[in-house]
Amino acid sequence: MGCLDTHRNYWVTVTKVHTGHDDSTLERLQKELGPLMVKISQDYTKIPPWLDCSKGMVPDFVAKDPK
C-alpha cells in the first residue's frame, strides 16, 4: 500500500498488506467472488446508493448485491 507524496509528486510505500492467504486460496476466492462483483475502476459516479464512500476511497470493485 502506498500514498502520493504531493511535495515530490512521488508514490511512497507506507505498509504491506497481507491477507494471510496462499496463492491457491487467493485464486479460488477470485473465482468464487468474481461473478458477485462489479468493476467500477475507482469511478466515483459508479458508486451504488448503498455504499457511503468518499472520493478518495472508491474501490476498484463493489458487490453486485451486498445482502
Mapped onto helix, strand or coil, the DSSP state of residue 35 is: helix
Q: What is the pLDDT of residue 49?
A: 87
- Long-range Cβ contacts of 23-32 (<8 Å, 24+ apart): none
Could you tell me the residue ranges of all domains in the chain? 2-63
Q: What is the pLDDT of residue 3?
A: 74
For residue 3, give the DSSP letter: E
One digit per residue, the tens of pLDDT, for the chain of length 67 reads: 667 788 877 666 566 667 788 899 989 999 999 999 999 999 999 988 888 888 888 888 889 988 7
Q: What is the pLDDT of residue 14?
A: 67
